[in-house]
Amino acid sequence: MNESDELPIEVSVEEVDALRKSGKDFILLDVREQQEYDTARIEGARLLPMSELRTRLGELESHRDDHIVVQCHHGGRSMQVTQALRGVGFTQVQNMAGGIDQWSLKVDPSIPRY
């Protein structure tokens, strides 16, 4: 895969919502901490806190070529994780811009904001 085949590094909450509704296969990776996940989460998201990424990276190894959308509270931590995963050879990783806060505002207002 060359540079021009790469997905854009960021994806909007609306694009992620459309992706979910389309039934396309992708992993929504939530990199917030457990207590944040317990407060508010997107259905189907897989929790892997950024603080545990180094020790748990092996859990993602079989998904190296899968589409992964990384999400956090506002988009900062998830961008760091997106760049880190791309840096170690994950080719289809994107950051969900604005995080779960934007998701709550624009897609699903039933998800609590904090």
Q: How do residues 35-52 score in pLDDT, each as one tens digit? A: 999 999 999 999 999 999
For the chain, the structural domain boundaries read: 3-106
State how far the Cα of 98 lies from the Cα of 12, in Å rounded to an integer.
Answer: 8
Q: How far apart are CA 94 and CA 97, in angstroms?
A: 9
Does 3.40.250.10 match the CATH number of domain 3-106?
A: yes
Catalytic residues: 72
Indicate the burial class of 63 (C-beta count within 10 angstroms; 0-12, 13-18, 19 or more).
Answer: middle
Q: What is the chain's mean pLDDT, rounded?
A: 94
Q: What is the pLDDT along the chain (114 residues), one digit of tens a residue?
A: 344 467 999 999 999 999 999 999 999 999 999 999 999 999 999 999 999 999 999 999 999 999 999 999 999 999 999 999 999 999 999 999 999 999 999 999 999 999
